Structure 1
């Protein structure tokens, strides 16, 4: 029997780690692969925060390879612990992911693994040596031993640059199965990335359900909602703070903001004139709106995105050919040093200079966004715009829940009242909505014999489970 085991992302949306194992003809022998090996985040990280807690707690003697769907930390953050447990196999991923994985793990190692620079460099050297970049839509043999074999193929998932879902052709004795792991699927019509297509075949499917209970706004709607939120905030003379994930969301937002500036450049955001120049909001046009990225990691990955233009979608390629620079436009300022960050927070909090700031981390659980929140949450002229999923137990979820009713949030042990306006534009989530997930499943010509629902909060999984059972009565649908 070809087995599927889950070592994460079954009680929530983080810690993705799934195992595909095949018995062989050799006595008491099997071979397998892991699909992702990620960190737990938010409330799911409780009791899983120390090096001892994060140590790999399942057998890996039979694991021949790790396949990475994409480089978000909840899918790759435990790779150093996998190496420490003795894993010696290849790390298979897409070509863009191979470029980005060492960068994201370097940051993760510094924060949660060790401060020893030499040790970090040794770990990164091992990871670079093990990386096996595989082009999309190309079968790659993983192992072929007595009685069992496995090949994998990566297909575009549209989640972030380099993201993939994984098709596994598994053979054990006379049994052959195509097992598909969705990883994280992107929404259609996302900026920069081609949308995912359904697999041609899937005997068994393991699918995410982050938004298994809701749909997103279409791109045009969310784009004008983004413009409206920015406009409203800037007319108040405040700052728009967008907690942004370093990979994916930041680049998509910059792409959309550049598009708004290009379309409405000479149009005034605020009406009237101020000949004295004492009110920075008067006469502000979109073309002189300042956009700040205050995250060294986001800046690094934005640069990598620019270098990987061949993997952009047709729309983005056309913009570049027309002379536009959607990730490096004139109004964009990048802040790198910590001193410049501190000065920017202090200056923007006092000056009421209209500005859009994208700062990490995306769930407000750490990083530079926390200092901005401390400085600006108490001022009703400011706005916080959430564009991505906020996990239970994170400050981002608390702000989103309690902010609209004038509540408070705890940041680094201290309570802060929320007077700033709180907005959410869900369409900028990098995850597929319910309808998108259904389209992915129903696009498989022969419905899977088994569908396993993972990577979702309980309500999202239950609702998606109910819908799939109604739509695909001949498929066995389960929540592990």
Structure 2
């Protein structure tokens, strides 16, 4: 008997958490945090609805918090099996989780309740981790095995293929948005029987990616010509590395003047060092550039600011400059200090390269508010505000359908489950799949169990 229970990621973008049972063997796919919703904290603190000590293994698709954030809590509640992921995923997970713990500890003290997990729990789950490269088979039991395939979403991200009792079951994880500057194209499911597919953009088509580099170059040059500061709130993982790659390429081609640029984010710097460690995960074009002697993420004029003192020193740099800092939605981090200083400057520019969630400072500025509060201080917004939309690392509707089409070849496909999307996007994608491939596609409900 094979069955899946959808404990997280069902009718929700976040909290990815799926229990796969094959005979007596129980494994988990992802153990992510719920984020963004009013009941997210409550859900994160709830006891797991299964017994963690009975799990043989946990498979992690990639290192984003909505796929990894509750791993230490899983250890806290008794998990002692093996944690499987690609080596880059493990490296980035165990750089990001301590950062999450620091933030959670501060918030928990304010709210007068314990943090979700402790450093002891974090070290405990880290001790169970085992890195596995793409294409290497992991034996889990009689007639039950797993393989990681490249998902092209962020460094080390994976599609997880399970072979169980003669059936092939694919979990997409988060699928990438090819072609990307750095990573290889995602792999496809082959002769699938069942597919669990993400649907974050199941009802949308992305802006043309080819225009984003031109727009970035234009914004950099225009800000420089005015003598202003270009502030880019950026997510530490993947978004920052793609941005550095593109700025490096422009610098090498002489397309932008050589001015001071700063990566002002200790977390982004650590994660960039992980990228530098695994060039074999990059696409051929990026590997060729590296082999020619170029550092993809560094160039003359770029300064990595690790300490708060180095961050403060940026203020002393007179004239045009570029500052890349977290957080990506201006919800915290060092970007706030720079925004407080330069938002009121009409010669400066604030450039958004990622989604700005409702209620965040970034969203307020993006929506056109002319006065915002930063560190309880009123700050006028007179700078230019721009956004580039081609940086999404998620597959859009046509890309998801093309991925499903490959899985449907061979005529084995019995059923598809659309997850990790808002109800509208998951439902839209499911309806399109059913109409196009004549295969039942459904949006599972939270905690629903399905026998395969």
TM-score (norm 2): 0.88
1:412 to partner: Cα distance? 5.7
Match of 1:88 in 2: 80
Question: 1:354 aligned to 320, 329, 341, which one?
Answer: 320
Separation in 1, partners of 2:59, 2:420? 17
Distance 1:434 1:423, change over 3 A: farther
Separation in 2, partners of 1:31, 1:398? 48
In the alignment, is the contact (CA less than 8 A) between 2:326 and 2:335 conserved in 1? yes
1:358 to partner: Cα distance? 1.2
Match of 1:451 in 2: 416
Separation in 2, partners of 1:449, 1:409? 52
Separation in 1, partners of 2:358, 2:21? 32
CA deviation vs aligned residue, 1:250-270 (integer Å, no higher than 9, x gap): 1111001111111235xxxxx
Question: 1:264 aligned to 254, 262, 283, which one?
Answer: 254
Distance 1:396 1:2, change over 3 A: farther
In the alignment, is the contact (CA less than 8 A) between 1:55 and 1:85 conserved in 2? no
1:414 to partner: Cα distance? 6.3
In the alignment, is the contact (CA less than 8 A) between 2:6 and 2:444 conserved in 1? no
Match of 2:243 in 1: 253
Separation in 2, partners of 1:407, 1:11? 35
1:223 to partner: Cα distance? 1.4
CA deviation vs aligned residue, 1:75-114 (integer Å, no higher than 9, x gap): 1111111111111111100122222222222222222258
Match of 2:171 in 1: 181
In the alignment, is the contact (CA less than 8 A) between 1:468 and 1:477 conserved in 2? no
Separation in 1, partners of 2:175, 2:202? 12
1:343 to partner: Cα distance? 4.0
Tell me the SS of whatever aligns to 2:200. Answer: coil
Is the counterpart of residue 385 in structure 1 residue 385 in structure 2? no
Greater shift, 80-89 or 321-330, is seen at: 321-330
Match of 1:60 in 2: 51
Separation in 2, partners of 1:106, 1:218? 36
RMSD in angstroms over aligned alpha carbons?
2.6
Tell me the SS of whatever aligns to 2:41. Answer: coil
In the alignment, is the contact (CA less than 8 A) between 1:449 and 1:476 conserved in 2? no
In the alignment, is the contact (CA less than 8 A) between 1:239 and 1:381 conserved in 2? yes
**Bigger relative CO (Cα 8 Å, ≥ 6 apart):** 2
In the alignment, is the contact (CA less than 8 A) between 2:354 and 2:389 conserved in 1? yes
Match of 2:66 in 1: 74
Question: 2:334 aligned to 368, 387, 394, which one?
Answer: 368
CA deviation vs aligned residue, 1:11-47 (integer Å, no higher than 9, x gap): 432222222223x3xxxxx4322111112222x2x34
Match of 1:279 in 2: none
Query: Which structure 1 residue ranges, 5 or more long, are not aligned?
Result: 25-29, 266-285
Match of 1:194 in 2: 184
Match of 2:397 in 1: 434
Is the counterpart of residue 290 in structure 1 residue 281 in structure 2? no
Match of 1:281 in 2: none
Separation in 1, partners of 2:335, 2:171? 33
Is the counterpart of residue 105 in structure 1 residue 97 in structure 2? yes
1:182 to partner: Cα distance? 0.8
Distance 1:3 1:409, change over 3 A: farther
Is the counterpart of residue 129 in structure 1 residue 119 in structure 2? no
Separation in 1, partners of 2:365, 2:444? 30
Separation in 2, partners of 1:202, 1:393? 41
Distance 1:412 1:60, change over 3 A: farther
Match of 1:424 in 2: 387
In the alignment, is the contact (CA less than 8 A) between 1:159 and 1:185 conserved in 2? yes
CA deviation vs aligned residue, 1:326-355 (integer Å, no higher than 9, x gap): 1121121111112332343x446xx4x222
In the alignment, is the contact (CA less than 8 A) between 2:201 and 2:396 conserved in 1? yes
In the alignment, is the contact (CA less than 8 A) between 1:211 and 1:433 conserved in 2? yes
Query: Which structure 2 residue ranges, 5 or more long, are not aligned?
Result: 446-452
Distance 1:381 1:213, change over 3 A: farther
Separation in 2, partners of 1:85, 1:225? 49
Question: 1:35 aligned to 24, 29, 36, which one?
Answer: 29
In the alignment, is the contact (CA less than 8 A) between 1:361 and 1:368 conserved in 2? yes
Question: 2:308 aligned to 323, 338, 347, which one?
Answer: 338
Match of 1:299 in 2: 269
- Aligned length, in residue pairs: 434
